Amino acid sequence: MKKTRERMVSDNMWGSSAVFCMAAFVAFVVVRSEAAVRVGWILYGCGWVAPVCMAVWCAARRKSPGVGGVFAFGLLVVFGLLTWLAHG
């Protein structure tokens, strides 16, 4: 079954939070400098942009965000909480 263009964009937008969390993790754990920690928090904040935009898009179209929304927001909340405990 072939996905529509809208579905492909939606999947990638929901999944983009994982890329930002991974980049922030690298900044926090691998680089470990004071500047890298600031960059890590900026990357983490940028990770919220696409899921929030998708949540607004789903609300405007009266659609359920589905598993992608749960994954994106769950990942961001858990990653943010754990990182804040370690680097806050």
Query: Distance (Å, rounded) from C-alpha 18 to C-alpha 16?
Result: 5
In this predicted structure, the answer to whether residue 88 has a pLDDT above a threshold of 70 is no
pLDDT digits (tens, 9 = 90+) for 39-77: 999 999 999 999 999 999 999 999 999 899 999 999 999
Query: Distance (Å, rounded) from C-alpha 63 to C-alpha 76?
Result: 21
Which whole number is the average pLDDT over 17-22? 96
pLDDT digits (tens, 9 = 90+) for 22-41: 999 999 999 989 999 999 99
Q: Decide: helix, strand or coil at residue 20.
A: helix
Both structure tokens of 24 = 């922030």
Indicate the pTM of the whole model. 0.88
Instruction: Compute the radius of gyration of the chain from its Cα atoms.
Output: 15
